[in-house]
A and B are shown apart, each in its own frame.
Chain A
Amino acid sequence: MTPRKYLVLLAVVVFGSLGDTLLARGMKDVGAIDIHHVAHVFFALANPWVIIGILCLLGFMSSYMTALSFADLTYVLPATAIGYVVMALLSRFWLHEHISIERWAGIALITIGVGLVAGGPSRTEHPPAPTADSKAIQERV
């Protein structure tokens, strides 16, 4: 793992959490969607918060795809869960919100999980598929 690859994982964290928060902010403006008129969800696409949220999620998608091109899915997902910890710590030290013991336990568990997965290999190496030549050599042996 190079510093550039860690930066890609950081971009996944930042764009993902920012996008989700902006979508939630936009959907508060749009209001509840009636189960009989689910197609009204498309009206939400005109909301500026939802539009900025979608742009952030596009940034998330491109960095996420880049991350998956050099690391396993079971490495990328837990490794980027550190975003939950960052948001909780920001709410404690920036917004001065109260964090209960349960939340501190949650932060500790996520940190342990991220540490565990980040300490291991990022990619499963699969043996290359046998070619016609290699099959012929194996048959001769």
Chain B
Amino acid sequence: MRNLYTWVCIFVTVCAAAAGDVLIALAMRRIGDLGEFRRDHGFLAVIVRVLSSTALFGGIFFMAIAFFSNLVGLSWADLSLMGPASAALTFVTNAIGAKFFLHENVDRRRWFATICVCSGVLLLTRS
């Protein structure tokens, strides 16, 4: 039964992390390069600009759900299962989210890289 709970936690972590990542990426794209913005307007202006983004707070909300779900999962399973399983699945869900919601150019090279990293993470934890 604990095994089922662990996978439910992994599922919730993956979905929430993907939603959080996509929303944060959307917010940061709208804000622009933080390094350049800081050079032009100063550090305080960067903080004000970042904190005025609603998409960012939506992203942080989903990241918080992913964090607590991960924490509960870690109390039932080892990091060697929770970490890579959620990370590997998050790579794929993020690539899908980035393509359809952020309209990123996820070409063959990026899909292949995502699949390589995802399979590599799974292999790294099998033994």
Q: Which residues of A contact B (CB under 8 A)?
A: 4-5, 20-21, 23-24, 27, 30-33, 35, 38, 41, 44, 57, 61, 64-66, 68-70, 72-75, 77-78, 81, 84, 88, 100, 102-103, 105-114, 116-117, 119-121, 124, 126
Residue among B28, B91, B103, B119 having the largest count of chain A Cβ atoms under 10 Å: B28
With A20-B79, A74-B110, A103-B124 already in contact, the answer to whether A38 and B117 are too (CB < 8 A) is: no
With a cutoff of 8 Å between Cβ atoms, the chain B residues found around residue A102 in the complex are 123, 126-127
Binding site for A on B (CB under 8 A): 5, 21-22, 24-25, 28-29, 31-35, 50, 56, 63, 67-68, 70-72, 74-76, 78-79, 82-84, 87, 90-91, 94-95, 97-99, 102-107, 109-110, 112-117, 119-127
Whether A113 lies near B24 (C-beta < 8 A) is no
> Which of A24, A74, A78, A111: most chain B CB closer than 10 A?
A74
Q: A65-B50, A73-B98, A114-B117 are in contact. Are A23 and B24 (CB under 8 A)?
A: no
Known: A73-B25, A73-B98, A110-B121. A41 touches B71 (CB 8 A): yes
**Chain A residues near B116 (CB, 8 Å)?**
109-110, 112-113, 116
- A73/B104 in contact, CB under 8 A: yes
Chain A interface mostly: helix
Whether A38 and B113, one on each chain, are in contact in the complex, defined by CB atoms closer than 8 angstroms, is no
Selected contact of A110 from candidates B33, B68, B120, CB within 8 Å:
B120
- List of A residues within 8 angstroms of B76 by Cβ: 32-33
**How far is it, in angstroms, between the C-alpha of A41 and the C-alpha of B114 when the chains are bound?**
32
Partner pick for A77 among B63, B94, B103, B119, CB 8 A cutoff: B94
Contact of B91 among A4, A44, A69, A78 (CB under 8 A): A78
- Distance between B15 CB and nearest chain A CB, rounded to angstroms: 16
Contact of A24 with B79 at beta-carbon distance under 8 Å, contacts A65-B50, A68-B28, A120-B110 already known: yes
Provide the bound-state CA to CA distance between A68 and B110, in Å: 16
